[in-house]
Amino acid sequence: MPENKPETTDATIGYFTVVEDERTGWTGGLLILDRGGRPLEFQCTLPVRPTRAHEILFGPTLRSHLVGQVIGKLLISKCRTPLTLLCCDQIEGLAVEAFTQSPVALIREAAEVDEGPISLDMLAGSETVEVAGATFIVPMEQRERVAGLASQYRDLPDAVEPFERIREAIKEAHSQLARQRPEAA
Amino acid sequence: MSFFSPRGPNLMRPAVGKSELVAQIDPLNSWTSDSLFDLTTCSLPLPSIDPVAIPIRLKPFVTRTQGFLFPDSARWIPPQAPGAVNAEPKPRKPSVGKKHNRIKPPSDIVKLQDRLYYLLQPPLDLLVGSGQLNFPFEPFPYQLDGMAFLFPRYAGILADEMGLGKTMQAISTIRMLLCSGEVRSVLLVCPKPLVTNWLREFSVWAPEIPIVAIEGNSTKRDFQWRSPQVPVKVANYELLKRDESTVIDGGLHFDLVVLDEAQRIKNRTSTTSEVVRSIPRTRSWALTGTPVENCPDDLVGIFEFLSPGYLKPGMPMPQIAKQAGGYILRRTKDMVLDDMPPKLYRDAELDLTPEQWSTYEAAEKEGVVHLENLEQSLTIQHVFELVLRLKQICNFDPVTGSSCKLERLVADIEEVAASGKKAIVFSQWVKSLDKIRDALQPFGPLEYHGKIPQKKRNGVIDQFKEDPNSHVILMSYGAGSVGLNLQFCEYVFLFDRWWNPAVEDQAINRAHRLGAKGAVTVTKMMAMGTIEQRINDVLDKKREMFDTLFSGNETPTQKVGLSREEIFGLFDLRAPCGKKVA
C-alpha cells in the first residue's frame, strides 16, 4: 500500500474510472492531479477480458470484482504519487478504499451520467461533502476528514471533467493497440 | 367359452322337469387368458453410477499497468498580467457534458506517452475560468481552440481569416510554451510594416515576456541575434535575408520559428523562402489568412518550410487536402459567427516611418512656437490648422510620400483581396485617398468622395458590388457616411480618425447593417506618440465616462467630441481667457 501522507501544500486528488468496452474489455485509468487540476501521474491498465466462465461463475458480482478488486487494486498499488483524496464515478469503485489510506469518494454529478439519480439510500452509511462545487459521497466516518480537505481544492477548475480526460486517454490507448494488432499480424 | 349340455346333479341342479339341462365347460374348446402367455421374468444388469468431478479452471484476472509521471513543467502557470485582479475563484458547478477546448496531439506525435501528455492536460477554457490562465481580454472560444491546436504542434498552419486574431492566438500559445519550458527561444518573422504591431500585441497579451525587434546596424543586430536573455526575437523578411550568415551559419538555434503572412514563401525558389527554410529550428508555424492564393502549389511552398518534402508540386488536390488537413486550422468569420460580436475592432497602432517622424517633429515644434507667439490673438482655428497639418503628416510624409499606414494598409488589403472579400477605406482627405488609390492599383480601387460627380456615384457603387476584381472602395467621411448600404463589405479601414466618434460610427455602419452577411472587422489606424494618439486618448476617456454614467443604455457618442479646452490642451496650451489644460 503506498504511503499516503502528502504535505498539506501538495494536496493531490486522484481520479479513478473503468471503461467497459464489448470488443476490448475492461480498462482502468488513474489520473493524479495537483490541487489546481494539473496532471502529476497517470496509470492505465491493459484491457482485462473476462471469459465466459468468469461471466457465469461471477454472475452479477463480476463488475464489482473487476472494478474494485482487480483493476482498482492494481492501479493504486502502482501509483507513485501520494494521494490525498481519491474519487471515482462508479459505485463499485468505492471498494478500492480497502487498498488505500486516503478517503475514497463517489462524485455524484459524474456518477449520475451513467447510473442515473443517486440517492444516499443507495449507499448506506454515506454522507455528502461539497468539494470544488461538486457533491462528494463519502463513508460517514470519512465525512469530517474530507470536509477538512475541501478547502484545499478551491483552485480545482472542475471536479468532474478529469474523468473525461481518463476516458480520452483510454480511447487513445485502445486505438493505438488496435493499430498495433494488424501490424503484428 | 361355455355352452349348455346335460350335466350331473352336483354340477347344476335344474329347477323343473324330468330331463335336466346341465351346463358344462368344454375343456377342449375353452381357454383362459392365463393360457395365452407364457410369463417369465428376466433380469437386466445396469452399470453403477459413479459421480465424476470435472474441474473448470478459472483463470485469475491478469493485467498490467503502464503509467508515467508528468514533468514539473506540466504545472506551468503564467504570471499574473500587470493590473489584472486576482479574484477569488467564483463558486462553480461541474460542467457535465460541456464541450471543452482541449489540447489534442497531432498525428505526427506517435509515442503513446507523448500523446497522453497532451490529452491529459486540463482544457484551456477551464484554466481561463479558474483564473490560472490570465488574459487582458477574455478570448473567444474559437481562439482557445486555436491555441489548443498550436500548442502541441511542431509543424502547423493557422490560416484563420483576417480579423479573427491569429496574432493573439500565436502570442498566447508562445506564452504558454515559454511558461511550460517547452520552448526557450522563438523567432518571429513578419513583413516590415507589421513588426511594431507584433511588439505592441506582445505587450498586451504577454507583457512579461522579453521581446526585441532585430534592427539597427550590423553590430547591434549581431548582438541582438545572439542575446540569450531575450526569448522572443522579431525580424522582418528583408532583414532576415541580410543577416542570413548570422542566422544560418552563426550557430543559432530556435525552438520555434513563426512566419507571419507566410504566403510570402509560397514561391519555393525565392530567396526569402530558401533563407527561411534554412533557419535551424525545432518547431515551425505559419500564419496566413490566405494559405492558397492562386494554386494548390502555394501550399506546397509553405509546407517546404513546415515539413520539407511532405507535399510535392503537382500533387492531386484531394491528396494535398488529405495530407495537409491535420496541419492546418482555418476558420472563417461565418464559422465562428456565434462566438463573435457583429463588429470587431482592431487598433492598428503604428509607428511613423523615420521620414515621417522627422517631418512631424519639426512641424509640431514650429507650430507650437507659432501658436504661443500668437498669445491673445490665438483662436481655436489656429489650433485646428496645426492639428490638421500634423494629422496629414501622420498619413503621408509630404516630402518623401513615406507612410507607415499605407504600408500596413497594402499588406491588409492584399489579404482581403486574396480571400475574395471587399473593403472600405475611409479618410477625411481626398488627397490621401488619391495616394492610397495609386498604391492599391492591383486591387481595383474605386473612389466615392466629394470629387466624384453625384450622377456617377451610383455607378461606382454598382461596379463595386458586381466587379469581382474590385476589392476596395475609397471614401471620404462626408461622402461615404450617409445613405449608403455596403453590407457586402466585411472590412472597414479608418485610415485617419474623425474628431467625433459618431461620424466614425456612421461610416462603419455603411458596412454593418442589419442583415449584413457576416461580422465586420474595423481597423482603426493610429500613429502612436502623435496628435492622433492624444486625440484618441481624450476621446477614449470621455467614452469611458459616458459608459459609466449611462451603462446599460445606448452611449450618446454624438456628445463625445472635443471641447474647446480639450483642443487647446492637445498642445499643452492655455486657451485665451481660460485655464491651462494639462
Q: What is the CATH number of the domain that holds B193?
A: 3.40.50.10810
Reported as type and span, the H/E element at residue B59 is none
Residues B317 and B357 in one domain: no
What local confidence, expressed as pLDDT, does residue B171 receive?
A: 96
Residues B352 and B324 in one domain: no
Contact B96 A66 (CB under 8 A): no
What local confidence, expressed as pLDDT, does residue B7 receive?
A: 47
Number of domains in chain B: 2
Residues B549 and B409 in one domain: yes
**CA angle, corner B204, sides to B203 and B205, nearest 5?**
100
Last residue of a domain, one of B305, B329, B353: B329
DSSP string for B425-455 = EEES-HHHHHHHHHHTGGG-EEEESTTS-HH
SS3 (DSSP) at B530: coil
Query: Distance (Å, rounded) from C-alpha B547 to C-alpha B560?
Result: 11
Question: In chain A, what residues touch B179 (CB-CB under 8 Å)?
Answer: none
Residues B282 and B347 in one domain: no
On whether the CB atoms of residues A90 and A123 are closer than 8 A, the answer is no
Residues B534 and B386 in one domain: yes
On whether the CB atoms of residues A32 and A41 are closer than 8 A, the answer is yes
Radius of gyration of chain B (CA): 45
Amino acid at B582: A
Please, which pLDDT band fits residue A105 given cuts at 50, 70 and 90? very high
Could you list the residue range(s) of the whole structural domain that residue A69 is in? 8-184
For B100, nearest residue in chain A (alpha carbons): A161
Residues B323 and B360 in one domain: no
Question: In chain A, what residues touch B89 (CB-CB under 8 Å)?
Answer: 154-155
Contact A172 B116 (CB under 8 A): yes
Q: For B154-172, give one letter per residue: b (16+ CB within 10 A) or e.
A: bbbbbbbbbbbbbbbbbbb
Phi, psi of B307 (to 5 degrees): -155, 85
DSSP string for B361-387 = HHHHHHHHHHHHHHGGG--HHHHHHHH
What local confidence, expressed as pLDDT, does residue B138 receive?
A: 84
Give the closest-approach CA distance of A42 to chain B in angstroms.
5
Contact B61 A70 (CB under 8 A): yes
- B54 touching A (Cβ < 8 Å): no
Is residue B565 situated within a structural domain?
yes
Residues B378 and B527 in one domain: yes
- Picking from A6, A90, A82, the residue whose alpha carbon sits closest to that of residue A41 is A82
- Picking from B414, B391, B416, B413, the residue whose alpha carbon sits closest to that of residue B403 is B391
List, in order, residues 6 or more apart from B60 with CB less than 8 Å away: none
Amino acid at B352: L
Tally the residues of chain B. 582
Question: In chain A, what residues touch B58 (CB-CB under 8 Å)?
Answer: 51, 53-54, 57
On whether the CB atoms of residues A33 and A162 are closer than 8 A, the answer is yes
Contact A44 B64 (CB under 8 A): no
Q: Using CB atoms, which residue from A48, A54, A161 is nearest to B95?
A: A161
Is residue B271 situated within a structural domain?
yes
Residues B508 and B401 in one domain: yes
Burial class (CB within 10 angstroms; exposed 0-12, middle 13-18, buried 19+) of B272: middle
Contact A173 B92 (CB under 8 A): no
- B120 touching A (Cβ < 8 Å): yes
On whether the CB atoms of residues A84 and A152 are closer than 8 A, the answer is yes
Number of domains in chain A: 1
Q: Using CB atoms, which residue from A50, A134, A157 is nearest to B126?
A: A157
The ipTM value here is 0.92
Query: Distance (Å, rounded) from C-alpha B413 to C-alpha B493?
Result: 10
Query: Distance (Å, rounded) from C-alpha B208 to C-alpha B81?
Result: 7
- Picking from A64, A81, A65, the residue whose alpha carbon sits closest to that of residue A30 is A81
Is residue B7 situated within a structural domain?
no
Bridge partners of B213, per DSSP, are B234
Residues B247 and B373 in one domain: no
Sheet containing B155-158, strands listed edge to edge, beginning at the edge strand earlier in sequence: B211-213, B232-236, B186-190, B254-260, B281-287, B155-158, B328-329
Query: Distance (Å, rounded) from C-alpha B204 to C-alpha A172?
Result: 37
Is residue B515 situated within a structural domain?
yes
Last residue of a domain, one of B300, B329, B358: B329
Distances (CA, A) of B19 to B2, B24, B25: 20, 15, 19
Bridge partners of B24, per DSSP, are B3
User: Which residues 91-110 on chain A approach chain B with CB closer than 8 angstroms?
Assistant: 107, 109-110
What local confidence, expressed as pLDDT, does residue B498 receive?
A: 80
Query: Distance (Å, rounded) from C-alpha A22 to C-alpha A132?
Result: 34
Query: pLDDT tens across B337-391, in order?
Result: 776 667 778 888 899 999 999 999 999 999 888 887 877 777 878 888 888 999 9
User: Which residues 72-91 on chain A approach chain B with CB closer than 8 angstroms?
Assistant: 74-75, 78-81
What local confidence, expressed as pLDDT, does residue B581 receive?
A: 39
User: Which residues 13-52 on chain A approach chain B with CB closer than 8 angstroms?
Assistant: 30-31, 34, 36-48, 50-51
Query: Distance (Å, rounded) from C-alpha B117 to C-alpha B497?
Result: 49
Reported as type and span, the H/E element at residue B471 is none
Is residue A48 situated within a structural domain?
yes
DSSP 8-state symbol, B467: -
Residues B347 and B319 in one domain: no
Query: Distance (Å, rounded) from C-alpha B507 to C-alpha B480?
Result: 7
List, in order, residues 6 or more apart from B411 with CB less than 8 Å away: B191, B193, B194, B261
Residues B352 and B315 in one domain: no
On whether the CB atoms of residues B558 and B546 are closer than 8 A, the answer is no
- Give me the residue label for grid cell 354340477: B11
Residue B300 C-alpha cell reads as 506546397
DSSP string for chain A = -------GGG-EEEEEEEEEETTTEEEEEEEEEETTS-EEEEEEEPPB---HHHHHHHGGGHHHIIIIIIIIHHHHHH--SPPSEEEESSGGGGGGGGG-SS-EEEEHHHHHHHH----GGGSTTEEEEEETTEEEEEEGGGHHHHHHHGGGGTT-S-SSHHHHHHHHHHHHHHHHHHHHHHHH-
Distances (CA, A) of B298 to B150, B167, B256, B268, B302: 21, 22, 22, 9, 7
Is residue A1 situated within a structural domain?
no
Residues of chain B predicted below pLDDT 70: 1-19, 79-92, 339-341, 480-485, 510-518, 543, 545-561, 572-582
What local confidence, expressed as pLDDT, does residue B458 receive?
A: 77
What local confidence, expressed as pLDDT, does residue B89 receive?
A: 54
Q: Using CB atoms, which residue from B63, B77, B120 is nearest to A46?
A: B63
- Give me the residue label for grid cell 492546418: B328
What local confidence, expressed as pLDDT, does residue B1 receive?
A: 44
Last residue of a domain, one of B329, B352, B382: B329
What local confidence, expressed as pLDDT, does residue B281 receive?
A: 96
Query: pLDDT tens across A11-60, in order?
Result: 999 999 999 998 899 999 999 999 989 999 999 999 999 998 899 999 99
List, in order, residues 6 or more apart from B397 with CB less than 8 Å away: B353, B355, B356, B359, B403
Could you list the residue range(s) of the whole structural domain that residue B433 is in? 343-569
Give the closest-approach CA distance of B337 to chain A in angstroms.
27
Is residue B505 situated within a structural domain?
yes
Amino acid at B418: A
Contact A42 B120 (CB under 8 A): yes
**CA angle, corner B285, sides to B280 and B289, nearest 5?**
140
Is residue A3 situated within a structural domain?
no
Query: Distance (Å, rounded) from C-alpha B415 to C-alpha B408?
Result: 11
Q: Using CB atoms, which residue from B58, B61, B89 is nearest to A48?
A: B61
What local confidence, expressed as pLDDT, does residue B2 receive?
A: 45
Is residue A2 situated within a structural domain?
no
- B106 touching A (Cβ < 8 Å): no
- B130 touching A (Cβ < 8 Å): yes
Give the closest-approach CA distance of B170 to chain A in angstroms.
23
- B123 touching A (Cβ < 8 Å): yes
What local confidence, expressed as pLDDT, does residue B3 receive?
A: 46
